[in-house]
Amino acid sequence: MKPLYILIAALLPLMVRADEPPVLVPLVAAETSFDAQMYVARPVVIFADSPSDPNFHRQMDLLARDPVALGLRDVIVVTDTDPAAASEWRQKLRPRGFGLVILDKDLKPVIRKPLPWDVREIVAAIDKLPSRRQEMLERNPAGR
């Protein structure tokens, strides 16, 4: 199943037209370096013990509903559905079963959830982070 996700992730940018809404392309944990994301992105990491986990599918569906809101907050989505691979993400965050972990740009976990979360809830949590508030002030200084 993992090769299918890789193939889809590789082909999606080629299939998107300019008049279509943006598509969320998750990164596979085994192919993404943990430390390379420091101060670059806010990872939202989705863990599951299997790619067929219903919570995993529900979470991916929820995230796909509003990729623009996630993109505005520098969010990348990292998926890890293979506990046997013992990815760097899994070793550092140590999940049990399904898990949603939101990290700040300094790669410190700020929220852990055992059930899927809607984009609205994720965005609200990110917008409360001090680093995000600082970014909003820097982008719109008149909003003080």
pLDDT digits (tens, 9 = 90+) for 58-87: 999 999 999 999 999 999 999 999 999 999
Domains of the chain: 2-10+22-143 (3.40.30.10)
- The answer to whether 26 touches 60, Cβ cutoff 8 Å, is yes
DSSP 3-state helix, strand, coil percentages of the chain (rounded to 5)? 45, 15, 35
Q: C-alpha distances in angstroms, 83 versus 29, 37, 41, 79, 80?
A: 11, 21, 24, 11, 8
Q: Cα-flanking dihedrals φ and ψ of residue 103, to 5°?
A: -110, 150
Measured between alpha carbons, how far is 45 from 114 in angstroms, rounded to an integer?
A: 12
What value, to the nearest 5°, has the Cα angle with vertex 11 and ends 93 and 90?
10
**For residue 100, what pLDDT band results from cuts at 50, 70 and 90?**
very high
**pLDDT the model gives residue 141:** 78
Per the model's pLDDT, the better-predicted residue between 29 and 14 turns out to be 29
Helix axes 54-64, 119-127, angle to 10 degrees: 70
**pLDDT the model gives residue 24:** 78
**pLDDT the model gives residue 7:** 47
Whether the predicted model's global pTM rises above the 0.85 cut = no
User: What average pLDDT does range 81-94 have in this prediction?
Assistant: 94
User: What average pLDDT does range 119-126 have in this prediction?
Assistant: 96
- The answer to whether 10 touches 43, Cβ cutoff 8 Å, is no
